[in-house]
């Protein structure tokens, strides 16, 4: 809960995105948004995919091609457990399932 009494939703959002990633064989950020039980902003879904890709959790199946209006498709390759990996401000991913920390590479 924030100081003003409003709920913090970031953990809930990443949890929903993670659940969708674990359930779907392959996906894009829109698939994740559609499979969530809460409303998730497009930029949040895109950013979470980008950061998990940089940390080695996702593999690109099809690259995005703006000229063909195609968005990137991914596959989860590191399904470490039921809890969603957390994006930390210090440019890393913390995985509460394993206790591991992964640096974000490539200017994310």
pLDDT tens for residues 79-92?
999 999 999 988 89
91 closest CA partner among 101, 79, 76, 100: 101
DSSP-assigned beta bridge partners for residue 59: 75
pLDDT for the residue 108: 44
pLDDT for the residue 107: 45
Dump pLDDT digits (tens) for 40-50: 999 999 999 99
pTM of the full structure: 0.84
Exposure b/e, 11-35, CB count within 10 A at least 16 = b: eebbbbbbbbbeeeeebbbebbbeb
Residue 30: is its pLDDT beyond 70?
yes
């Amino acid at each position: 809960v924030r100081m003003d009494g409003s709920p913090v939703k970031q953990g809930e959002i990443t949890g929903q995105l993670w659940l969708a990633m674990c359930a779907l064989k392959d996906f894009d950020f829109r698939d994740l948004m559609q499979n969530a039980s809460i409303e998730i902003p497009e930029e949040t879904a895109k950013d979470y995919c980008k950061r998990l890709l940089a940390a080695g959790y996702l593999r690109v199946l099809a690259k995005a091609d703006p000229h063909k209006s195609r968005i990137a498709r991914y596959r989860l390759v590191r399904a470490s457990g039921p809890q969603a990996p957390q994006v930390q401000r210090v440019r890393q991913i913390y995985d509460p399932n394993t206790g591991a920390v992964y640096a974000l590479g490539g200017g994310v």
